[in-house]
């Protein structure tokens, strides 16, 4: 039975190989510091953090995430280490909360490698602190214990590291913040929270009935961490004091749930489908994490057993040694097979669910080859979300989860036209073809955005300084769906950026002053999308500054940025553009494994949602959008 600790309380650790699980409800960074007997840190090499996630006996997450699993092998630590501190911190410079007092209380649990709970601690009573030492694992009389610490630092990571005796604390904190910011620029944003009561609802059984460890039910009062999607609930969840979104009936106890489209919470079918897709995404992330953890455990156990055979010269050779090796390998195979069987059951259930969900998706969520586009009509209101592509993991590439982002966009897009990808596909495509594919991807996404808005609800502007994307943009320009022709040359670039920058300034001032009715009549109050092609060619310092301003301030007043750019080409501007690119979500015109989930940080392969080659669905949709725009006088 798990020990629920309060601040200052300790508990013995039954084994030295452990997992530290962190649940925070929003992306935070997690790391580990090592101390000597006096509680001092030797140097920066005694800190495991996202930029340097591995130390002897320690492995932490490579990025900020809402949930973390930290691996600890106390037996593998340097002999001089007597204390292991688990540190948590809020990312800086991301626009999120600046202190733990503004977020839900973080929950930390210590478990065995098989998921057996040992101790848990909910860190309460934090206020202005932006970094906190959550737990301390310490050695006492050759035995290890865990203590609930909860020591917060209003000065953030730098203050925490300095308190543990690190002279270069400020420099290391800055390096950690930079690594986290880079990781968050690659991550897929989680869906916004629903009601607190809906978040407490869970399904009664794991996906597919798999046996992989999936702890359940946790919160501010303690308990185990819940790794299941909040939309996957039981029918007998406690009634909420305020009405939660309606929910589809839960599965019968003891039976595998039969896949049903819309089997999630939500006020509308679109919202239910959106939440269901996110549930599938999270379930695959969790199931894969459990499978990988089980395989890692099997590998480490086999290595330990083989090492024990080889460490004694008297047992290193001979029949007994061969038998010990064979037994260790047999145990390894058995554990891996069991984990794979559980993982395959989970994935089989998700594949069955995808088979019924995909045909039920509305146009904004659907693939371009879906039959739903044949019945497309310009909507009366903006869609809840938009499909940017598909996501998959290498363990089962046959299962692809739609990548949905909420509308209006809270973050701009950067479509990478360079060869910076790590996939085989990106290596096989030459530079000119990548640039062509990137421009085509931008055109298709712009078409999706137009199709997801009511008539006149979105105005699309294009900057193409040299006219290099004319062919790729032809469906947009020829349909009449654009607010105006693509801007070319320095004068065209300056005019479009100046107009949109002025719109942001005026709307922000009107909103802050509470006089939105006083805006000039010629201000277009529709959502605005600016597509920038072939950046940075044709842009001077002033236009670069305006782009940065639009990326930072535009989304709050309905101005969104989509850049088609080669990151390497833009390095000529130096670090001035780093904040711009970090503010945008990077996607690629060919499959690439650069995106991360917000829960466990898997590297997901992103595949863009392109239209079928030679198909007419995109031009047909754009013609309907243009006709509706003309009918409504836009």
Model confidence at 228: pLDDT above 50: no
Query: What DSSP character marks residue 256?
Result: P
Averaged pLDDT of the chain: 82
Q: What is the dihedral of CA 225, 228, 230, 234, to 10 degrees?
A: -100
382-395+405-631 under CATH 3.40.50.300, yes or no? yes
Per-residue model confidence (pLDDT) at position 387:
96
Residue ranges of domains in the chain? 3-186, 227-360, 382-395+405-631
pLDDT band at 345; cut points 50, 70, 90: very high
Asked if 3-186 and 382-395+405-631 have one fold, the answer is: no
Coil, helix or strand at residue 548:
helix
pTM reported for the whole predicted model:
0.68
Segment 416-465, tens digit of pLDDT: 988 766 666 667 788 888 999 999 999 999 999 999 999 999 999 999 99
CATH of 3-186, one of 3.20.20.70, 2.60.60.30, 3.30.460.10, 1.10.1240.10: 2.60.60.30
Cα dihedral sign, 419-424-427-430: negative
Segment 196-208, tens digit of pLDDT: 343 333 333 333 3
C-alpha distances out from residue 120 to 11, 101, 108, Å: 10, 20, 6
Q: Compute the average pLDDT of residues 114-131.
A: 88
Segment 257-302, tens digit of pLDDT: 678 888 888 888 999 999 999 989 988 988 888 888 888 888 888 8
Q: Compute the average pLDDT of residues 520-538.
A: 86
Segment 235-267, tens digit of pLDDT: 333 333 344 555 554 444 444 567 888 888 888
Exposure string of 570-602, with b = 16+ CB inside 10 Å and e = fewer, is: beeeeeebbebbbbbbbbbbbbbbbbbbbbbbb
Between β-strands 559-565 and 527-535, what pairing exists: parallel, antiparallel or unpaired? parallel
Model confidence at 308: pLDDT above 80: no
Q: Compute the average pLDDT of residues 65-76.
A: 87
Q: How far is CA 398 from the centre of its chain?
A: 21
Per-residue model confidence (pLDDT) at position 256:
58
């Amino acid at each position: 039975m798990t020990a629920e600790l309060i601040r200052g309380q300790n508990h013995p650790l039954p084994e030295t190989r452990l997992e530290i699980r962190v649940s925070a409800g929003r992306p935070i960074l997690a790391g580990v510091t090592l101390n000597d007997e006096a509680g001092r840190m030797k140097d920066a090499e005694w800190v495991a953090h996202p930029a340097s996630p591995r130390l002897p006996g320690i492995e932490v997450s490579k990025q900020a995430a809402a949930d973390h699993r930290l691996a600890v092998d106390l037996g593998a630590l340097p002999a001089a280490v007597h204390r292991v501190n688990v540190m948590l911190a809020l990312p800086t410079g991301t626009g999120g909360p600046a202190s733990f007092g503004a977020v839900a209380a973080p929950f930390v649990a210590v478990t065995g490698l098989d998921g057996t709970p040992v101790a848990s601690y909910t860190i309460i009573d934090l206020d202005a602190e932006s970094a906190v030492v959550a737990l301390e694992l310490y050695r006492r009389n050759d035995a290890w214990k865990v203590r609930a610490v909860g020591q917060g630092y209003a000065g953030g990571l730098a203050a925490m590291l300095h308190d543990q005796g690190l002279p270069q604390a400020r420099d290391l904190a800055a390096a950690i913040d930079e690594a986290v910011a880079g990781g968050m620029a690659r991550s897929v944003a989680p869906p916004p929270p629903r009601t607190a009561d809906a978040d407490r609802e869970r399904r009664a059984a794991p996906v597919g009935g798999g046996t992989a460890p999936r702890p359940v039910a946790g919160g501010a009062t303690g308990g185990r961490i819940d790794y299941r999607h909040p939309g996957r609930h039981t029918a007998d969840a406690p009634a909420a004091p305020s009405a939660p979104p309606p929910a589809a009936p839960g599965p019968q106890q003891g039976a595998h749930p039969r896949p049903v489209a819309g089997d999630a919470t939500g006020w509308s079918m679109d919202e239910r489908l959106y939440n269901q897709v996110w549930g599938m995404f999270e379930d695959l992330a969790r199931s894969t994490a459990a499978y990988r953890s089980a395989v890692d455990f099997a590998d480490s156990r086999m290595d330990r057993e083989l090492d024990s055979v080889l460490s004694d010269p008297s047992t290193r050779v001979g029949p007994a040694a061969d038998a010990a090796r064979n037994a260790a390998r047999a145990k390894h195979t058995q554990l891996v097979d069991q984990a794979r069987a559980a993982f395959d059951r989970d994935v089989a259930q998700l594949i069955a669910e995808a088979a019924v969900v995909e045909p039920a998706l509305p146009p904004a969520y659907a693939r371009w080859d879906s039959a739903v586009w044949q019945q497309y009509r310009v909507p009366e209101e903006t869609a809840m979300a938009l499909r940017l592509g598909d996501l998959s993991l290498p363990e089962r590439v046959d299962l692809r989860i739609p990548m949905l982002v909420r509308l209006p966009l809270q973050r701009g897009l950067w479509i990478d036209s360079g060869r910076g990808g790590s996939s085989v596909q990106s290596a096989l495509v030459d530079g000119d073809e990548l640039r062509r594919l990137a421009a085509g991807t931008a055109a298709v996404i712009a078409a999706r955005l137009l199709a997801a808005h009511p008539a006149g609800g979105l105005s699309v502007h294009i900057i193409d300084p040299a006219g290099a994307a004319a062919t790729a943009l032809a469906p947009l320009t020829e349909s009449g769906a654009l607010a105006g022709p693509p801007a070319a040359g320095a004068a065209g670039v300056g005019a479009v950026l100046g107009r949109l920058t002025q719109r942001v300034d005026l709307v922000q001032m009107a909103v802050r002053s509470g006089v939105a009715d006083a805006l000039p009549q010629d201000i277009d109050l529709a959502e605005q999308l600016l597509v920038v092609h072939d950046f940075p060619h044709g842009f001077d310092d002033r236009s670069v500054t305006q782009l940065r301003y639009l990326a930072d301030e535009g989304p709050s007043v309905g101005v969104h940025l989509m850049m088609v750019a080669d990151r390497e080409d833009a390095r000529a501007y130096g670090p001035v553009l780093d904040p711009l690119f970090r503010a945008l979500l990077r996607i690629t015109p060919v499959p690439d494994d650069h995106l991360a989930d917000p829960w466990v940080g898997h590297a997901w392969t992103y595949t863009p949602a392109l239209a079928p080659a030679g198909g007419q669905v995109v031009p047909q949709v754009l013609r309907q959008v243009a006709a509706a725009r003309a009918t409504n006088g836009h």
